[in-house]
Structure 1
Amino acid sequence: MALTRVDGALTQAPSTSGRRNQGRRRGRDQRPAVVPTVILLLGAVYCLLPVVWVLTASTKNNAQLFNTFTFAPNGSLWSNIRGLSAYAGGVFWHWMLNTALYAGGGALLSVVVSALTGYALAKFEFRGRSTLFNLLLAGVLVPPVVLALPQYLLLAKVGLTNTYWSVLLPSILSPYGIYLARIYAMSAVPDEVIESARVDGCPEGTLFARIAVPMMTPGLVTIFLFQFVAVWNNFLLPFIMLSDENKFPLTVGLYTLLNRGSYQPALYSLVVTGSLLSIIPLVILFLALQRYWRTDIASGAVKQ
């Protein structure tokens, strides 16, 4: 430090070496972290490469797919879509509708059950609440694959196998969705608001529907999206439950096409094209629902 005279008094001024060291530290802090950036880029390439391959492969005919395949697109996409639509009287689009029914209906019912259960666990005091919540947490740790066979045996006892309900009913209860709903209800729904509504004589059902649900909307949208994607991509449960081809979802239907491709190689290009078309609804759904997350983040930024 150097001494300088200001208005007749001696003061200490920072030395030039100190300013240089401060500038170096600031430069190091602003320098991008190379290693984490490279790791993230490699992870992005790893995740996006199969998507790029599907996009490119769906533009190839069967000969190009196996003989001269490159990542350069070709002009056979529309012919592949027409061939897929014409296959077996348009059964692919029937599979698409079945998948939308399973995923949409299962996700909506799961959101209702998760919202009610999570809100009750977060805002009501009752005996055994902690035990029940711990059991739900244990259910989160159980892989759905383990439950597929017991669910088949239970539904077979009541004659619901090979029906739409055999895929819809197991999709309704989501331990992870209930866990998220409870956490979000605890943080997004203030106890003061609930107590004020109760003092004003608001019934519990109206309080939940008109006050709690709007506050929990971003969390419920997240639960809906998670459950929708899980049911949309589910393979083992409908594979075990269903035997009628007209009730198949996309995952099982495309699997049957892939098996038939072993003696009908022309079906491979249809399978790849069907895989591409099965991704599009998920992308559209994510883009349509992400505005709820932006709204929640913006509202949280101005809370005092």
Structure 2
Amino acid sequence: MSITANPGTAPAETERPSRQPADPRRRRGSAPRRRSGSGLTSRVAVNAFLVVFAVYSLLPLAWLLIASTKNHRDLFATNPFALGDFNLVSNLHALFTVDDGIYLRWFGNSVLYTVVGSLLSTVIAVTTGYAFDKYEWWGKEKLFGLVLVGMFVPSAVIQLPLYLLFSEAHLVNTYWSLLLPALVNPFGVYLARVFSEGYVPGEVLEAARVDGAGEFRTFGRVSLPMLTPGFMTIFLFTFTAQWNNFYGALMMLNDEELYPVNLGLFMWNKTVQQRPEHYSLVIVGALVAVIPLIVAFLCLQRYWRSGMTAGAVK
């Protein structure tokens, strides 16, 4: 059975309502204006927050810098943020010469505790984190769980047990009482494992082993250069913590010759009622004590920035 169209009739054409084409310029221009307005508001809000945060962070440092240029009379007779007679050079001379230059001894002690302790602590943390990541042994994850638990234990909680332990070992009031605790860094071990997972591919290690390199040579020649950003990041965190380690020094040290700079300034500050001239020395000494932290961050910030983004891009 076939169906044929009637030759006398033409097929009906379906009439569609005509639509005016929308103006592409108007359609394209409306959305960006809305996005532009919201984006501008977000940028203004973010920049305003950053400005407030920067002012909040830098205001104490600005006051410290201005106060360091004043003599003892101007510290209390002028506005805190008003410049007095410029006496920074004379204040520094008094700081470095008072009590036979004890401040320089404190500063040297801080450098010793911080640089040596941070360097050894970082080497141990990076090596341990690398071993947790690249090797398999029984109970590895359980042991790493103990490391994570150690991250959440405040350092002030363990100071009394450490003091009793070091007292039995006759290490109290020695350099070792601050250097040995610095070697234990659970947070550094955790960061080192994260960096090892993100920076050191297993294929590279297998290629080095195939070429005949031993494990120590593989770590020193292949893995450690890849872990440089992580190494510097952990070093900076440890450096800051060690330089500001006040409570540990307060618990362990009694000899003034062994004080770090923060503990020495604290002891000076306790005597300002009897020796008012120490007030200016404490302010100038605090300014000098901040300089190593600033220098460390300025010199190592590129490693720190790259280390903080580890694992963000896969």
Q: Report deviation, 1:35.
A: 3.1
Q: TM-score scaled to structure 2, two decimals?
A: 0.88
CA offsets, 1:248-281, max 9 Å, x none? 0001100111011121111101000000000111
Unpaired segments ≥5 residues, structure 1 = 1-9
Compare 99-108 and 283-292 and name the one that shifted more.
Answer: 283-292
1:250 to 229, 236, 261: 261
AA aligned opposite 2:95: L
Q: In structure 2, what is the Cα distance between the partners aligned to 1:207 and 1:185?
A: 13
Name the residue aligned to 1:85.
96
1:42 to 2:47 alignment: no
| In structure 2, C-alpha distance between the alignment counterparts of 1:133 and 1:300, rounded to whole Å | 20
Q: Map 1:21-170; keep pairs closer than 5 Å.
A: 21-33=30-42, 34-74=44-84, 75-170=86-181
**Separation in structure 2 between the aligned mates of residue 12 and residue 195 of structure 1, nearest angstrom:** 63
- Structure 2 residue runs of 5 or longer lacking an equivalent are 1-18
Tell me how far apart the structure 1 counterparts of residues 127 and 190 of structure 2 sit (CA, whole Å).
11
Give the % identical residues.
Answer: 44
How much does 1:199 deviate?
Answer: 1.8
Indicate the residue corresponding to 2:194 in structure 1. 183
1:220 is the counterpart of 2:231? yes
Q: How far does the alpha carbon of each residue in 1:161-220 deviate from its partner, in whole angstroms, 9 at most, with x for none?
A: 100000000001111111110100011000000111112221101111111110001100
What pairs with 1:155-304 in structure 2 (closer than 5 Å)? 155-293=166-304
- 1:6 corresponding residue in structure 2: none
Q: Offset of 1:291 from its aligned partner? A: 3.4
Pairs aligned (count): 294
Distance (Å, rounded) in 1 between the aligned partners of 2:306 and 2:48: 31
Q: Report if aligned partners of 2:110, 2:260 keep a CA contact under 8 Å in 1.
A: yes
Taking structure 1 as the reference length, what is the TM-score of the superposition? 0.90
Structure 1 residue 236: deviation in Å? 0.6
Cα RMSD (Å) of the superposition? Answer: 2.3
Contact 2:133–2:197 (CA under 8 A) maintained in structure 1: yes
The answer (yes or no) to whether the contact 2:118–2:238 under 8 Å persists in 1 is: yes
**CA 1:37–1:292: 2 relative to 1, 3 Å:** closer
Whose Rg is larger? Answer: 2
SS at match of 1:145: coil
Q: Which amino acid aligns with 2:69?
A: T
